[in-house]
């Protein structure tokens, strides 16, 4: 695979694009039956909406598979012309019986549907949809690796259990990926690990794309509020999203900037690493944090903040929450880890800090608390970066060109 990169320049920003973004347009593809497989039903409309629209617009029959019964999502998909099928899948956990049920269910559905193409994303859909499709001889298997996850993170403590789990995941990925038509990754670290662990029988099918992209019209630019500073973290309420570090850093910043506000928006989760409601309530009572609950539309909250913060030490692909903040025109404070750091040019549109470092995080946030004009200037650069690199329509065109579905 060529390592040469074309560049786009805007002002003082110079951005590298993946080489695959320069693929020549293919001839229009024949109409296909496409199975899209997700581990979270809401992600189909939250993260894949524009891709599903493009596939339907191209004349393909699209069937979406996911575990939860979500009437709002199902109605939205039906309006697009996408059929929804519920499948059994435990998003977390390593229960082999649960995973076998997922594999068997997908195999049976694929056997009846006879899809021409499968497109799963996230770990369990990739592994079990990939294996089920191989069992049935489905040739056009395309995989969207949105992040390899904490199993492959250097931040995960090296224990015998973690080593065994990683070894098992590598073997399963190898089985699922064998003979793949296309494998897409969001960042260089995931691409390097896929090669390091020899998950693919041919790296020629591996393509780097800039995340899921963001709809620049839906997430329009807005000027930051004049009051401030207002910091916002949007994430599922998991410890490895850096929420505890965010609270600790907020305590430090408030000593010097007592008017600074720290907001948290996100849903509670069943994951063992989840933050409890009691913890959130305690921080709110302390007066250090404003918990905003969960919403289907983050745009008003992004418009109401000065700086977006994601101190994650989870192995991210490219966080969608950051992309939405970039498009809105907000500077970013995040960690120097794969995926997160791919969205920031330090000193241009934000700052990166070490993971699990509340003091370093507090120092970075204090930079913006001290200089509100800087937040506005860097926010404009964030919008330029979103336009130049993360436009969802550009990203989807890369996907469709590579899969020859347009």
Region 21-31: mean pLDDT is: 50
356: left (phi over 0), alpha (psi -120 to 50) or beta: left
Q: Among candidates 199, 175, 167, 171, which has minimal Cα distance to 185?
A: 199
Over residues 232-283, the pLDDT tens digits come to 999 999 999 999 999 999 999 999 999 999 999 999 887 778 999 999 999 9
Region 376-389: mean pLDDT is: 97
CB atoms within 10 A of CB 259: 10
Per-residue pLDDT band for 157 (boundaries 50, 70, 90) equals: low
User: What distance in Å separates the CA atoms of residue 195 and residue 202, rounded to the nearest whole number?
Assistant: 9
pLDDT at 340 over 80: yes
Element (H, E) at 144: strand 140-145
Per-residue pLDDT band for 160 (boundaries 50, 70, 90) equals: confident
pTM > 0.75 = yes
pLDDT at 349 over 50: yes
Q: What superfamily in CATH does domain 230-389 come from?
A: Glycogen Phosphorylase B; (3.40.50.2000)
The reported pLDDT for the residue numbered 16 is: 37
pLDDT at 57 over 90: yes
Q: Dump the DSSP string for 302-367.
A: HHT-SEEEE---S--SS-HHHHHHHHHT--EEEESSTTTGGG--BTTTEEEE-TT-HHHHHHHHHH
The reported pLDDT for the residue numbered 226 is: 83
Mean pLDDT over all residues of the chain?
Answer: 90
Residue 261 Cα distances to 224, 293, 310, 366, angstroms: 14, 16, 15, 12
Q: Which two tokens stand for residue 324?
A: 């939405």
Beta strand spans in 163-260 (E):
182-185, 206-208, 230-234
User: What distance in Å separates the CA atoms of residue 303 and residue 226, rounded to the nearest whole number?
Assistant: 11
The reported pLDDT for the residue numbered 285 is: 96
The reported pLDDT for the residue numbered 109 is: 98
Per-residue pLDDT band for 227 (boundaries 50, 70, 90) equals: confident
CATH T-level topology, domain 7-213+391-403: Rossmann fold (3.40.50)
How far is C-alpha 314 from the geometric centre of its chain's CA atoms?
11
The pLDDT > 70 percentage for the chain reads 91
Say whether 230-389 and 7-213+391-403 share the same fold. yes
Over residues 5-18, the pLDDT tens digits come to 332 333 333 333 33
The reported pLDDT for the residue numbered 175 is: 97
- In the beta sheet, which residues pair with residue 391? 214
Q: Are 330 and 307 in contact (CB under 8 A)?
A: yes
Domain range list for the chain: 7-213+391-403, 230-389
The reported pLDDT for the residue numbered 14 is: 34
pLDDT at 48 over 50: yes
Element (H, E) at 111: helix 96-113
7: exposed, middle or buried (Cβ count in 10 Å: 0-12, 13-18, 19+): exposed
Q: Are 188 and 208 in contact (CB under 8 A)?
A: yes
The reported pLDDT for the residue numbered 271 is: 76
The reported pLDDT for the residue numbered 29 is: 54
Which stretch of 52-66, 149-163, 245-259, 384-398 has the lowest confidence by average pLDDT?
149-163
Task: Give every CB contact of residue 183 below 8 A, 6+ residues apart in sequence.
Answer: 142, 143, 145, 177, 194, 200, 205, 206, 207
355 or 406: which leads in pLDDT: 355
């Amino acid at each position: 695979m060529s390592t040469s990169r074309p560049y786009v320049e805007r002002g003082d920003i110079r951005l590298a694009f993946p080489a695959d973004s320069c693929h020549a347009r293919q001839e229009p593809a024949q109409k296909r039956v496409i199975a899209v497989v997700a581990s979270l039903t809401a992600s189909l409309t939250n993260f894949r909406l524009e891709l599903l629209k493009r596939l339907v617009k191209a004349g393909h029959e699209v069937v979406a598979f996911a575990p939860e019964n979500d009437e709002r999502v199902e109605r939205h998909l039906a309006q697009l012309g996408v059929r929804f099928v519920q499948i059994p899948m435990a998003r977390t956990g390593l229960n082999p019986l649960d995973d076998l049920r997922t594999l068997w269910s997908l195999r049976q559905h694929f056997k009846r549907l006879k899809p021409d193409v499968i497109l799963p994303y996230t770990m369990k859909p990739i592994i079990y949809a990939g294996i089920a499709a191989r069992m049935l001889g489905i040739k056009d298997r395309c995989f969207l690796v949105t992040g390899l996850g904490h199993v492959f993170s250097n931040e995960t403590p090296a224990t015998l259990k973690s080593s065994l789990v990683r070894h098992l995941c590598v073997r399963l990925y190898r089985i699922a990926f064998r003979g793949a038509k296309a494998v897409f990754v969001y960042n260089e670290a995931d691409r390097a690990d896929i090669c390091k662990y020899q998950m693919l029988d041919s790296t020629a099918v591996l393509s780097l794309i800039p995340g899921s992209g963001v709809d620049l019209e839906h997430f329009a630019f807005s000027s930051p509020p004049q009051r401030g500073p207002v910091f916002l973290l949007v994430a599922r309420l998991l410890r490895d999203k850096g929420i505890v570090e965010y609270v600790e850093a907020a305590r430090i910043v408030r000593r010097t900037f007592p008017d600074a506000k720290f907001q948290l928006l996100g849903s509670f989760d069943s994951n063992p690493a989840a933050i409890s409601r009691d913890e959130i309530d305690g921080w709110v009572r302390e007066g250090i944090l404003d918990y905003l609950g969960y919403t289907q539309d983050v745009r008003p909250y992004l418009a109401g903040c000065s700086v977006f913060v994601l101190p994650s030490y989870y192995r991210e692909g490219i966080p969608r929450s950051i992309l939405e903040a970039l498009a809105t025109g907000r500077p970013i404070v995040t960690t120097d880890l794969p995926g997160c750091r791919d969205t920031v040019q330090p000193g241009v549109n934000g700052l990166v800090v070490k993971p699990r470092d509340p003091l370093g995080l507090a120092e970075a946030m204090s930079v913006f608390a001290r200089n509100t004009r800087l937040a506005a200037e860097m926010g404009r650069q964030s919008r330029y970066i979103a336009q130049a690199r993360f436009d969802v329509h550009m990203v989807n065109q890369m996907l469709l060109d590579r899969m020859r579905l347009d």
